Amino acid sequence: MNDHLDSLKNLPPDPDSDRSQAQPDLRKRRMWRNLFLVNLVLSLLLVAFFWLPLKVSKLDNFLNSPSVNLPKTGEMEPIEEPVFENPVKVENMLDSHWGVINASSDKTWAYLNFTEGKQVAVNDPKSLNWDLAFRRGKVISNGGATNPNGRAGLIDLGEVDFDSVTEAPKTGYIQDNATRTEPENAVLAKWYKYNYLTHKLSAKKNVYALRTANNKYVKMQFLSFYCSNKETGCVQLRYSYQDNGSTSFLKDKTAWVPPETAQNPES
């Protein structure tokens, strides 16, 4: 009898019995894992629902809040030439210009005329006496929905060296389009980067090709949104303006003649 009991003790454990004991532990682990995932998703949703609108609102306030102690509105004030790392050297390049636009007002536009190289007073926005208009961080052009009479349009050339751009594209310029509130230019809608943690705005390094209201060409780059006294609302630009009507940003000793004029010299 004892021998029989001893033999039963030495039998291998029943695998079905072990499996039945392990199943409750497995179900508990799955339950806790699922609860963790649900809590994680809910937390992210709450952050997106409450935190992001708050940050977007702060960005709007930052861009639209009026500044003080700014340069007087008038001619585009020259600024000291910035220092760029490893600039591309191209011979015969048109001169570059640097200037600052007083775009501090959140109600009125500051108009820039590249032909004159300065801010101009514009009584009629449908005129051709301006190329770009600035209001805080918003920039529009003199063309499309803003002014059907204007030829202004832009192309984003990407993060390229400013001096490496020796010619503007001949086609593909994007003009202002209508929105539910006011016209905007999609190319210039996000010319800056905004840090939601520090609430600091920095200009992208992108270079833009601009066709002006009267069909001339400019290459330009935003440098800053800050004034020398650290106030906001000073849009600093770098640009080269080709006044002879060609798309080239290289100097030419001979006057450029439009093709239609060359074909019809008497016109």
Residue 232, in any domain of the structure:
yes
pTM over 0.75? The answer is no
Per-residue pLDDT of the chain (267 residues; tens, 9 = 90+): 555 545 545 555 555 555 555 566 777 778 888 888 888 887 777 766 655 555 555 545 545 554 444 444 444 555 555 565 666 677 889 999 999 999 989 999 999 999 999 999 999 999 999 999 999 999 999 999 999 999 999 999 999 999 999 999 999 999 999 999 999 999 999 999 988 888 788 999 999 999 999 999 999 999 999 988 888 899 999 999 999 999 999 987 444 455 554 444 443
Residues 36 and 81 in one domain: no
Residues 99 and 51 in one domain: no
Residue 253, in any domain of the structure:
no
Total domain count, the chain: 2
Residue 249, in any domain of the structure:
no
Residues 151 and 183 in one domain: yes
Looking from the CA of 233 toward its CB, the CA atoms found within 13 Å total 24
Residue 226, in any domain of the structure:
yes
CA distance 191 to 206: 8
Q: Which domain holds residue 53?
A: 1-64
Residue 21, in any domain of the structure:
yes
Q: Looking at the chain, list the stretches that DSSP marks H as alpha helix, in order from N- to C-terminal side.
A: 2-9, 15-64, 259-263
